[in-house]
Amino acid sequence: MEKLNVQIMITGSQNALACPLGISMIVLSPEAVECVYSSQVRSMYLDLKSALENGERGQTPFTTAVGILLQINARLKQIEKEGGAEAEIAHTAEIAGDFRRKIRHLPFEIVSK
């Protein structure tokens, strides 16, 4: 996030982690945290101030899908054990390349790179 000067990142448990869907994750830079605390929120469902305050006491504002959190935790530990994010990206690229080579003869165009 620092390298790209990203202040807020939003993703889901199913994106890149290959976990079941059901958990949205939001990562805030220190500047974004300051902005959250200094703003007045008028939304019950995306109240980041409430999420941060609950996080300080190890809680969430709403009931969380605990099973998915445990799977995310296990998956992150697996990625770290296998060499980190760069190794995971390289492994995924290798699988994608292999898949694309194997289907190259089929009658359709691959549009993603």
Domain range enclosing 68: 8-103
The verdict on residue 94 lying in a domain is yes
Residue 29 confidence (pLDDT): 96
Instruction: Examine the pLDDT at 102 and tell me if it is beyond 80.
Output: yes
The verdict on residue 110 lying in a domain is no
d(CA 76, CA 65): 17
Q: How many domains does the chain have?
A: 1
The residue among 82, 62, 64, 61 whose CA lies nearest residue 18 is 82
CATH number of 40's domain: 3.40.640.10
| pLDDT per residue as tens digits for the range 23-68 | 989 999 999 999 999 998 888 788 999 999 999 999 988 888 999 9
The verdict on residue 87 lying in a domain is yes
The verdict on residue 39 lying in a domain is yes
Residue 81 confidence (pLDDT): 97
| pLDDT per residue as tens digits for the range 60-92 | 888 889 999 999 999 999 999 999 999 999 999
The verdict on residue 2 lying in a domain is no
Close Cβ partners of 103 (under 8 Å, ≥ 6 residues apart): 110
- Between 9 and 113, whose confidence is greater? 9
The verdict on residue 1 lying in a domain is no
The verdict on residue 111 lying in a domain is no
